């Protein structure tokens, strides 16, 4: 009897520890599986295949896309406004940091500020821009807000293209890298860390009462107002945060790829790429797009290197996937996962 | 005398009821006159021609939104398809005519390209509606349709642009002109026949659409659906006929615009972006779903655009009208002519 009781107590204690850890993880916004996936990606470079420089570049691209998808979903999935000028805002962050780092005589300013500082300023500028964009789209809902954000994005793109003394226009900039002469491995850990920061911060916000207010505004703005939620404050806050992270990631882009042109960075099609990942991953989940980003980048890159004679095939697949998801499974990957979990649970409880 | 005062009263009433529209219209008129004085009449005529084309694009956009509640982001791709079809139909005919001169055929050959483009657009519209929008409409939950449809068209746009690059290649395919004859003299300015024809085609198509919507049974059914979908269905209107028809009409008009502007916009996978952008401009300003407003709006935006080109340089045509647009939308979020849409 005593031995049975002891075992039971031990089990309870174990469950208690496990439960506490799980609860702590949940507070940070991770499930055990999610954390395992993250650790898995983080140790990928140990595998020789992933240590090749061009594969590391794909991992960097994956983490960058994952961070963008989370930042995009923060607006699209929570307050239900599609920020169609997302890529342009990201571009402004990238350009800000690149111009601040400039030491070359072909621009009218040569501040020569270290990129390590510049990317924060880029994020700040993008955040302020997001504040403005949030305010501009405040009175607009749904499609009106999306189109307004699109117009703002186009105006920003045009502005960057035209302010040639600062940006060299369509010629583009070649800003200095974060770690001159370094390989891709340290960059991977930098962007991986940045991606984690984006996720954890945004998750903290969505888990708090602010996130609840976002969801309320996204679902029914009238009812949210009636419950005493001030949509102005929350919408502007949401835009500012999302755009600040976009600009911050843009700064990394600038000082990693060391090549910026308005068309490759700020074009509407760039927004669509992020949007497609965020929606296929599942709106309103933050993690759906992040989980999808890594395999997706690998798939796309393999496709590109296999069918070099078919440029744009990967983009066709992008669009086709997006169409299929919109029609057949608008909840996306995260929705599919939740539904499967629910099924498994109900099956277990029945048996 | 009595009539005059009532006219003035009516005018005053209209102005006070719709201040924003009046201000914009007056500003556009002033800008057009200023453009005419400082840059010559040709600039005004260019605005008119461009305006006709933006109107043709925007009318389709407004129609699709008004009737089907689809914010159509792939409208520019219909333009692109029209441009390609016109190119591939017209150039062989032109080459054949170069070998075997025939003045009568040379005069009508361009129409073959344009009609082919419009037909291709119409077919494309039906296919897209049946293949994609129909299943989406069945699956979509209430209240999510507009945004889902928008994202669907984003996907369509992506597939069509990159599909065109894949299939046809990223080379510019243009023609020097449809009618290679000396330019016409209109009010002392010389203007290319192609431009005059493009304007005429836009006007005729818009007038035909107007007649169709206003005077025919089917056209009235389309308008009924745009006003009240459920009510229209109760009156025996078949949405499975009206929706493909509407979408096909809009696509055909955009394709026609692409075909008749081939001399200005060379056929290219992403050629549709600029027309799409300006068409959205027009419908946002006029009020989404407002077909009549889209026609007027087309000309207003064209004047803005030509004036920017003239006074600030061609590089600023993206920035200045956009900035203006943002200001207008800040003051009147649902367009200067208002919109029937409520969310």
Mutate to test the interface with A, among B76, B155, B270, B290 (most CBs of A within 10 A): B155
Residue B80 has pLDDT above 90, yes or no: yes
Mean pLDDT of all residues in B304-331: 82
Residue A29 has pLDDT above 80, yes or no: no
- Closest-CA residue of A relative to B139 is A327
Confidence class for position A196, pLDDT limits 50, 70, 90: very high
- Closest-CA residue of B relative to A312 is B162
Q: How far is A318 from chain B (nearest CA, A)?
A: 8
CB contact under 8 A, B158 and A279: no
CB neighbours of A97 closer than 8 A, spacing ≥ 6? A115, A118, A119, A121, A122, A175, A250, A251, A254, A255
Which residue among A155, A161, A272 sits closest to B158, beta carbon to beta carbon? A272
Structural domains in chain B plus CATH codes: 21-28+35-331 (1.10.3470)
Mean pLDDT of all residues in B156-162: 92
Per-residue confidence (pLDDT) for residue B340, from 0 to 100: 43
Residue B2 has pLDDT above 50, yes or no: no
CB neighbours of A232 closer than 8 A, spacing ≥ 6? A138
Question: Measured between beta carbons, which residues in chain B are less than 8 angstroms from residue A309?
Answer: none
**Highest mean pLDDT range out of A175-189, A201-215, A241-255, B188-202?**
A241-255
Helix, strand and coil content of chain A, in percent to the nearest 5, comes to 80, 0, 20
CB contact under 8 A, A311 and B144: no
Residue A341 CB neighbour total at 10 angstroms: 10
Q: How far is B275 from chain A (nearest CA, A)?
A: 14
Per-residue confidence (pLDDT) for residue A35, from 0 to 100: 84
Residue B97 CB neighbour total at 10 angstroms: 14
Q: How far is A140 from chain B (nearest CA, A)?
A: 7
Q: How far is B279 from chain A (nearest CA, A)?
A: 12
B17 vs B205, more confident: B205
Model pLDDT for residues B96-108, shown as the tens digit of each residue: 988 888 888 888 8
Model pLDDT for residues A226-244, shown as the tens digit of each residue: 888 888 888 899 999 999 9
Question: Domain A55-350 maps to which CATH number in 3.30.70, 3.40.1800, 3.30.420, 1.10.3470?
Answer: 1.10.3470
Mutate to test the interface with A, among B165, B322, B327, B334 (most CBs of A within 10 A): B322
Mean pLDDT of all residues in B176-205: 84
Confidence class for position B320, pLDDT limits 50, 70, 90: confident
Least confident stretch, A10-19, A118-127, A263-272, A292-301: A10-19
Residue B188 has pLDDT above 50, yes or no: yes
B321, two tokens: 């009208």
**Is B171 in CB contact (< 8 Å) with chain A?**
no
Residue A25 CB neighbour total at 10 angstroms: 14
pLDDT, averaged across chain A: 86
Residue B246 CB neighbour total at 10 angstroms: 23
Confidence class for position A50, pLDDT limits 50, 70, 90: confident
Q: How far is B322 from chain A (nearest CA, A)?
A: 6
Per-residue confidence (pLDDT) for residue A46, from 0 to 100: 81
Per-residue confidence (pLDDT) for residue B55, from 0 to 100: 92
Give the separation between CA A141 and CA B343, rounded to whole angstroms.
Answer: 8
Mean pLDDT of all residues in B149-171: 90
**Is B311 in CB contact (< 8 Å) with chain A?**
no
CB contact under 8 A, A323 and B132: yes
Q: What are phi and psi of B334, to 5 degrees?
A: -110, 30
Burial (Cβ within 10 Å: 0-12, 13-18, ≥19) of residue A258: middle
Q: How far is A105 from chain B (nearest CA, A)?
A: 24
Mutate to test the interface with B, among A154, A270, A277 (most CBs of B within 10 A): A154
CB contact under 8 A, A315 and B162: yes
Which residue among B147, B166, B277 sits closest to A312, beta carbon to beta carbon? B166
Per-residue confidence (pLDDT) for residue A138, from 0 to 100: 77
**Is A310 in CB contact (< 8 Å) with chain B?**
yes
Model pLDDT for residues B212-267, shown as the tens digit of each residue: 998 999 999 999 998 888 888 888 888 899 999 999 999 999 999 999 999 888 88
Per-residue confidence (pLDDT) for residue B146, from 0 to 100: 86
Residue B28 has pLDDT above 90, yes or no: no
B73, two tokens: 């982001």
For residues A72 and A242, is the Cβ–Cβ distance under 8 A? yes
| Helical segments of A181-230, H only | 184-207, 209-219, 221-226
**Is A312 in CB contact (< 8 Å) with chain B?**
yes
CB contact under 8 A, A322 and B132: no
Q: Domain residues of chain A, as ranges?
A: 55-350
Residue B342 has pLDDT above 70, yes or no: no
pLDDT, averaged across chain B: 86
Which residue among A151, A154, A313 sits closest to B166, beta carbon to beta carbon? A313
- Determine the Cα angle at A152 with ends A150 and A156, to 5°: 115
Q: What are phi and psi of B141, to 5 degrees?
A: -80, 155
Give the separation between CA A128 and CA A244, rounded to whole angstroms.
Answer: 7
A32 vs A2, more confident: A32
């Amino acid at each position: 009897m005593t031995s049975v009781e002891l075992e039971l107590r031990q089990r309870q204690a174990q469950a208690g520890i496990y439960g506490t850890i799980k609860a702590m993880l949940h507070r940070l916004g991770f499930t055990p599986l999610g954390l395992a996936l993250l650790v898995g990606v983080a140790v990928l470079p140990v595998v020789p295949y992933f240590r090749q420089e061009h594969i590391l570049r794909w991992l960097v691209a994956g983490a960058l896309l994952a961070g963008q998808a989370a930042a995009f979903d923060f607006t699209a999935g929570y307050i239900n406004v599609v920020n169609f000028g997302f890529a342009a805002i990201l571009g402004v962050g990238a350009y800000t940091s690149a111009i601040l780092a400039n030491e070359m005589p072909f621009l009218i300013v040569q501040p020569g500020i270290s990129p390590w500082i510049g990317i924060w300023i880029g994020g700040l500028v993008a955040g302020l821009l997001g504040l403005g964009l949030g305010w501009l789209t405040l009175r607009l809902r749904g499609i009106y807000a999306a189109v307004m954000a699109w117009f703002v994005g186009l105006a920003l793109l045009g502005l960057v293209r035209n302010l040639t003394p600062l940006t060299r226009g369509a010629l583009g900039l070649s800003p200095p890298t974060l770690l001159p002469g370094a390989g891709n491995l340290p960059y991977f850990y930098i962007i991986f860390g940045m991606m984690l920061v984006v996720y954890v911060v945004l998750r903290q916000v969505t888990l708090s009462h602010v996130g609840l207010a976002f969801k309320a505004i996204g679902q029914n703005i009238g009812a949210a107002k009636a419950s005493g939620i001030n949509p102005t404050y929350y919408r502007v806050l949401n835009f500012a945060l999302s755009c600040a992270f976009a600009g911050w990631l843009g700064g990394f882009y600038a000082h990693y790829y060391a090549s910026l042109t308005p068309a490759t960075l700020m074009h509407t099609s760039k927004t669509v790429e992020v949007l497609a990942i965020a929606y296929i991953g599942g709106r309103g989940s933050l993690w759906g797009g992040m989980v999808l980003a890594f395999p997706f980048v690998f798939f796309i890159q393999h496709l590109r290197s296999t069918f070099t004679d078919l440029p744009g095939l990967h983009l066709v697949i992008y669009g086709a996937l997006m169409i299929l998801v919109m029609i057949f499974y608008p909840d996306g990957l995260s929705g599919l996962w939740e539904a499967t979990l629910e099924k498994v649970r109900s099956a277990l409880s029945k048996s | 005398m009595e009539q005059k005062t009532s006219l003035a009263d009516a005018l005053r009433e209209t102005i006070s009821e719709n201040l924003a529209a009046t201000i914009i219209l007056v500003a556009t008129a002033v800008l057009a006159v200023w453009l005419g004085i400082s840059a010559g009449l040709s600039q005004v005529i260019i605005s008119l021609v461009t305006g006709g084309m933006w109107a043709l694009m925007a009318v389709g956009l407004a129609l699709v939104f008004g009737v089907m509640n689809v914010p159509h982001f792939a409208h520019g791709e219909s333009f692109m398809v029209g441009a390609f079809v016109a190119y591939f139909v017209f150039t062989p005919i032109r080459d054949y005519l170069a070998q075997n001169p025939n003045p009568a055929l040379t005069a009508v050959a361009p129409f073959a390209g344009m009609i082919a483009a419009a037909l291709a657009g119409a077919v494309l519209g039906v296919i897209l509606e049946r293949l994609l929008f129909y299943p989406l409409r069945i699956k979509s939950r209430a209240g999510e349709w507009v945004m889902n449809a928008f994202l669907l068209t984003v996907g369509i746009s992506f597939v069509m642009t990159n599909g065109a690059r894949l299939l046809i290649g990223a080379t510019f395919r243009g023609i020097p002109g449809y009618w290679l004859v000396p330019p016409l003299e209109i009010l002392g300015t010389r203007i290319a026949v192609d431009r005059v024809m493009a304007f005429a085609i836009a006007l005729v198509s818009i007038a035909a659409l107007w007649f169709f919507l206003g005077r025919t049974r089917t056209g009235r059914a389309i308008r009924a659906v745009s006003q009240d979908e459920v009510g229209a269905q109760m009156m025996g209107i078949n949405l499975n006929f009206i929706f493909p028809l509407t979408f096909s009409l809009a696509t055909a008009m955009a394709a026609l615009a692409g075909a008749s502007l081939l001399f200005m916009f060379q056929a290219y996978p992403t050629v549709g972006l600029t027309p799409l952008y300006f068409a959205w401009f027009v419908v946002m300003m006029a009020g989404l779903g407002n077909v009549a407003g889209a026609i007027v709006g087309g000309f207003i935006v064209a004047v803005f655009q030509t004036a920017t080109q003239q006074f600030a340089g061609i590089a600023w045509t993206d920035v200045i009208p956009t900035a203006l647009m943002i200001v207008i939308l800040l003051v009147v979020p649902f367009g200067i002519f208002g919109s029937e849409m409520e969310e």
